[in-house]
Amino acid sequence: MLAQQRLDFEFRPMTAADVGNAHELSIALKWPHRLEDWAMLQRVAQGFVAVHNGRLIGSAFACHQGEFSTIGLVIVSDDYQGKGIGRKLMELAVGCVAPRTAVLNATLAGAPLYAKMGFVSFGEIQQRQGQAQPTGTTELKAQERCRGLSEADHPRVLELANAGSGMDRSVTLGDVLNNLEHAVGIEHDGQLQAFALLRPFGRGLCLGPVVAQSVDQAKHMIGELLARVPYAFVRIDIPTDSGLADWLEDAGLKRVDSVTCMSMGAVPQASQGVRQFALITQAIG
């Protein structure tokens, strides 16, 4: 039917009024995002939509974070596949990035298009999820202690988040911190050195970001958070080289998918002796 029609597509910026229809796109793909998850991304990122005869048929976002912009939630309705809509949405998203560098996490289906556009792979992210199981305690070093976080810790959490991701998390993390289930951190001699956040997302809870100095710190904080929500459905997105994969498997968080990290130039670099062990989301990084 569509092939016999003259298709005139409208491409325009996304607004808050588009969130409900965009959410319907992800439901059709069986993606787990809630309406609230879409609303969050619309608040913190620059979005674009494709429309045909008043129907929203595609979306893409660019989330500006300092020297980088993360591209995400690039979706085209199944009815409109193969008509260049995804490429046009990507061109709009990438076109608003300059002078920043565009980075993204590519699905298997999307990676070939992104490679043609000039993106180069530099890593892999594992999506892990399941019903959280009790984990053994990972010991901390002497002088380290894990504690709950409060609003007074937010400036230091942002500093660590920026250092661990290599991006400016001012806007994105500010939104995340307003919607938490639990938050923990590790301090040494009174200074916060690591943190982990747990928040509502998708089918249950999302654990991330997690920023720490070592894999043992990351395991300890993740274990603390999982212990607070026994047998809840939890998702976590981790770099494949994080050192967490086998441990998370034992904790009931099974690998269900993987995506390829890609960039159109420089790659975000961690600093200050910390790194990111779990993402905010695949779309945000």
Chain segment 200-256, per-residue pLDDT in tens: 999 999 999 999 999 999 999 999 999 999 989 999 999 999 999 999 999 999 999
Residue 109 lies in a domain: no
Average pLDDT of every residue of the chain? 94
**Residues 166 and 93 grouped into a single domain:** no
Domain span at residue 218 reads 128-278
Other CB atoms within a 10 A radius of the CB of residue 160 amount to 25
Write the pLDDT tens digit of every residue in 142-174: 899 999 999 999 999 999 999 999 999 999 999
Whole-structure pTM value: 0.94
**Residues 137 and 272 grouped into a single domain:** yes
Where residue 199 sits, what CATH number does that domain have?
3.40.630.30
**Residues 94 and 233 grouped into a single domain:** no
Residue 120 lies in a domain: no
Spatial contact of 22 and 63, defined as CB atoms under 8 Å apart: no
Average pLDDT over every residue of 62-77: 96
Residue 203 lies in a domain: yes
**Residues 80 and 139 grouped into a single domain:** no
Residue 208 lies in a domain: yes
The token pair that represents 72 in the structure block = 């995400």
**Residues 16 and 76 grouped into a single domain:** yes
Spatial contact of 133 and 233, defined as CB atoms under 8 Å apart: no
Which of 165, 155, 170, 171 has the alpha carbon at shortest distance from 43? 171
Other CB atoms within a 10 A radius of the CB of residue 183 amount to 21
